[in-house]
């Protein structure tokens, strides 16, 4: 007697629990054609089969590697590449990332060790005072911090930001919120920011118009990444967005994600601000 294994089709909520993403994300992937469930229930609800779930896992791996959704879709839908080749390609990319992460992990270990040494020294200081440690809360050298935060990180950025905003409430609020953050917290913030920027690039690639409902939602997600550090109003976000096109460093950062992203993001932020009663032409830091 031959035993046949059948796979039950799953609802979007069940799949979201299984793969660790939100229902909203799955709906978005369905809407843009990245992962469309192949089945339907008797009442018309879409259901995910085993092949659909396998495709979701491939999307998650490529997203983990930093690819934009539009690029992931092109890769997965390439008729010249079969699933086995996808797996081999993903494994190669993952091995490269593992090597980079292992290098970063060694640097984080050193960061932890030096932070512990600094803390021990400060707690035994007879005067009860400590030296300046910067926004990361450590006494690492610029070279050591660059190993943690990436090779495109410039220690001059912090000095420049302190000179420009050091006396502001936002700077003080950011310092208070990030005090005590460890490498894991900083990495999580970076990962979340990378995910938002990938979504912005993907929207630009699909031709999403600034001022549309989707663009406004993305502008809010972008504002949320800033609000982790300090309360960022729509007016403040507009002021920041001016730098994205006027400062070559910011422009290069966003345009590396997708050509023209810096200009698109600024327009998206400005149009979203209008919806909240802020005139981008007269917006100030408040």
Domains and CATH numbers, the chain: 12-92 (1.10.1660.10), 93-275 (1.10.490.50)
With b meaning 16 or more CB within 10 Å and e meaning fewer, what string describes 195-221? bebbbbbbbbbeebebeeeebbbbbbe
Report the C-alpha gap between 43 and 264 in whole angstroms.
41
Report the C-alpha gap between 15 and 21 in whole angstroms.
8
Per-residue pLDDT of the chain (286 residues; tens, 9 = 90+): 334 345 678 888 889 888 888 888 898 899 889 999 988 877 778 899 888 998 998 888 888 777 778 888 888 888 887 767 777 777 787 777 777 667 666 666 665 665 555 444 444 443 333 333 344 444 445 555 555 555 454 445 455 555 555 556 776 777 777 777 777 777 777 888 888 888 898 998 889 999 998 898 999 989 888 888 888 889 889 988 888 888 787 888 888 888 889 899 999 999 999 988 989 888 888 7
pTM, whole model, 2 decimals? 0.48
- Per-residue pLDDT at 265: 93
First-last CA distance in the chain: 75
Separation in Å, CA 97 to CA 65, 94, 101, 123:
8, 5, 6, 38
Tokens standing for 280? 């981008």
Separation in Å, CA 93 to CA 81, 87, 149, 218:
16, 10, 21, 28
- Per-residue pLDDT at 104: 64
Report the C-alpha gap between 191 and 195 in whole angstroms.
6
Query: Helix (H, G, I), strand (E, B), or coil: what is residue 205?
Result: helix
- Per-residue pLDDT at 123: 42
Query: Phi then psi for 251, rounded to 5 degrees?
Result: -60, -45
Report the C-alpha gap between 175 and 229 in whole angstroms.
8
């Amino acid at each position: 007697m031959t035993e046949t294994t059948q796979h039950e089709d799953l609802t979007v909520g069940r799949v979201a629990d299984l793969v660790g993403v939100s229902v909203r994300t799955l709906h978005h992937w369905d809407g843009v054609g990245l992962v469309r469930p192949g089945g339907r229930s008797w009442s018309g609800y879409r259901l995910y089969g085993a092949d659909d779930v396998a495709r979701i896992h491939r999307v998650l791996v490529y997203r983990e590697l930093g690819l934009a959704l539009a690029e992931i879709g092109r890769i997965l839908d390439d008729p010249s590449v079969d699933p086995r080749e996808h797996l081999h390609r993903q494994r190669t990319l993952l091995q490269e990332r593992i090597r980079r992460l292992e290098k970063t992990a060694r640097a984080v270990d050193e960061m932890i060790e030096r932070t512990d040494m600094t803390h021990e020294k400060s707690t035994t200081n007879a005067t009860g005072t400590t030296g300046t440690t910067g926004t990361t809360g450590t006494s690492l050298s610029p070279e050591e911090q660059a190993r943690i935060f990436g090779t495109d990180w410039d220690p001059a950025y912090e000095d420049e930001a302190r000179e420009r905003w050091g006396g502001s409430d936002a700077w003080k609020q950011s310092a208070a919120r990030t005090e005590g953050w460890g490498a894991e917290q900083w990495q999580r913030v970076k990962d979340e920011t990378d995910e938002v920027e990938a979504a912005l690039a993907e929207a630009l690639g699909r031709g999403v118009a600034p001022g549309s409902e989707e663009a406004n939602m993305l502008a809010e997600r972008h504002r949320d990444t800033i609000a982790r550090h300090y309360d960022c109003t729509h007016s403040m976000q507009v002021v920041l967005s001016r730098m994205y096109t006027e400062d070559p460093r910011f422009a290069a950062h966003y345009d590396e994600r997708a050509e023209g992203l810096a200009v698109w993001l600024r327009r998206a932020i400005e149009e979203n601000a209008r919806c909240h009663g802020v005139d981008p032409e007269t917006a100030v830091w408040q």
